[in-house]
Amino acid sequence: MRDVAIVATGMTPFGELWHSSLRDLFVEAAREVLDAVDHPLLDSIYVGNMSGGQFVGQEHLGPLMADHLGVAGVPATRVESACASGGAALRAGFFEVASGASDLVLVAGVEKMNDGADVTGVLATAADQEAEVYHGITFPGLYAMIARAHMEKHGTTEGDLATISVKNHRHGALNPKAQFRQEVSLEQVMTSSMVSEPLRLLHCSPVSDGAAAVLLCPLDRAREFTDKPVKIRGGGFATAPMALADRVDPSALDAVSLAAARAYRASGLGPSDIHVAEVHDCFAIAELCVLEALCFAQPGSAAELTRAGETTLGGRLPVNTSGGLKAKGHPVGATGVAQVIEIVEQLRGEAGARQVANAVIGLTQNMGGSGASSVVHIFERV
């Protein structure tokens, strides 16, 4: 396999972008990438998107986006793994470059959620229709059950969950592209509306529009395009049973553990080598479970790590410096690629007020559904 690098990034702000359509969002992010590298001929495009069909009545996003970017002809494939669609798209683009078949591959994630669709209903199609959704549950309920299981097993408290939200809003306040750029207090989180007990409004990521894009090329060509390439050091992808009821321990995210183990093996690195991480905090409980599954903390001890400030900017391992899904926003198909962009900016030393000092190795963890799919990538400044 050839080594693969990221040489350019582009991203829309995340938020309620009522003036931009699905295709507008893609083109805005993709054009920023192409402008940064003087518009080379692309060999291929991957579009991460969860549900253009249900959100805005548009499937077949590969050719649509190639067309509207002005490069009709270029192969363009949509990849979907629910909220892990962006990470799965990166993985597919990585293989195309690593194989030697292509040199310049654009990987973009995009979602347009604010356009009139029943968002909670559409998102629920990422859970098991027969075992779960048919009976009336949606994602806040599924993650609430994960939270209850974690509380039961590890003594996790509502205050622990709130700490995650406070931290990620603190980071998001520093991110010009974040949907929410204000800090929230522990009290604000703890008294916000109950959504699905024990999850309150400020434990939940928002409904967002947005797009994010990166350009991949073989590492040995990277310096044609940038002085600061970031190498994809390794990746891992894994699945787990779709339905929570089929999991041995709903508080443990097995797909994340397995994807992480694969990414650590592929990169030759371990959790202690990571300087900065973006993880999938679709609900506050998810960040706790994920930190444990990534082996950043022992099972049941991620809350302690968070309370001690170790995952805050300035801590030992800053997590979700972008604001995470909670504050940056969560246009589901775009999230996996936006996580990568935050890490690329950190490793390039371009994260401004959010900069982690001396970050050389970074990790992204993207997740679909209630954790039935997860993609982990590890990146290195070279």
| Binding stretches for a second copy (CB under 8 A) | 1, 21, 23, 44, 50-54, 56-64, 66-67, 72-82, 88, 91-92, 95-96, 98-101, 122, 125-130, 133, 237-242, 246, 254-255, 258, 368-369, 372-373
Alpha-helical regions (H) of 100-224: 119-124, 139-154, 158-172, 186-190
Nearest to 48 by CA among 10, 83, 86, 90: 86
Closest distance of CB 28 from a second copy, Å: 16
Name the residue nearer to a second copy (CB basis): 135 or 176.
Answer: 135
Q: Can 330 be counted among the known catalytic residues?
A: yes
Closest distance of CB 356 from a second copy, Å: 29
Query: Residue 10: helix, strand or coil by DSSP?
Result: strand
**CA separation (Å) from 277 to 187, 212, 251, 344?**
27, 17, 21, 11
Please provide residue 116's backbone torsions phi and psi, each rounded to the nearest 5 degrees. 105, -10
261 close to 330: Cβ distance less than 8 angstroms: no
Name the residue nearer to a second copy (CB basis): 11 or 126.
Answer: 126
Partners of 218 in the β-ladder = 4
Name the residue nearer to a second copy (CB basis): 189 or 367.
Answer: 367
Closest distance of CB 104 from a second copy, Å: 15
Name the residue nearer to a second copy (CB basis): 85 or 163.
Answer: 85
Closest distance of CB 11 from a second copy, Å: 23
CA pseudo-torsion sign 258, 6, 318, 270? positive
Closest distance of CB 102 from a second copy, Å: 9
CB-based burial label for 223 (10 Å; 0-12, 13-18, 19+) = middle
Interatomic CA distance for residues 76 and 94, integer angstroms: 14
Closest distance of CB 300 from a second copy, Å: 23
Interatomic CA distance for residues 345 and 38, integer angstroms: 20
Closest distance of CB 314 from a second copy, Å: 35
For the chain, the straight-line distance linking the first and the last C-alpha, in angstroms and rounded, comes to 18
Partners of 362 in the β-ladder = 276, 379
Closest distance of CB 139 from a second copy, Å: 11
> Across 151-257, where does the E strand assignment appear?
194-196, 199-200, 209-218, 230-239
**Catalytic residue selected from 83, 204, 282, 289:** 83
111 close to 50: Cβ distance less than 8 angstroms: yes
**Catalytic residue selected from 169, 171, 330, 377:** 330
Name the residue nearer to a second copy (CB basis): 61 or 361.
Answer: 61
378 close to 264: Cβ distance less than 8 angstroms: yes
- Cβ atoms < 10 Å from Cβ of 321: 30
133 close to 124: Cβ distance less than 8 angstroms: yes
Name the residue nearer to a second copy (CB basis): 131 or 190.
Answer: 131
Query: Residue 96: helix, strand or coil by DSSP?
Result: helix
Name the residue nearer to a second copy (CB basis): 312 or 339.
Answer: 339
Name the residue nearer to a second copy (CB basis): 259 or 284.
Answer: 259
Q: Can 295 be counted among the known catalytic residues?
A: no
Nearest to 3 by CA among 375, 278, 382, 362: 382
The set of catalytic residues is: 83, 330
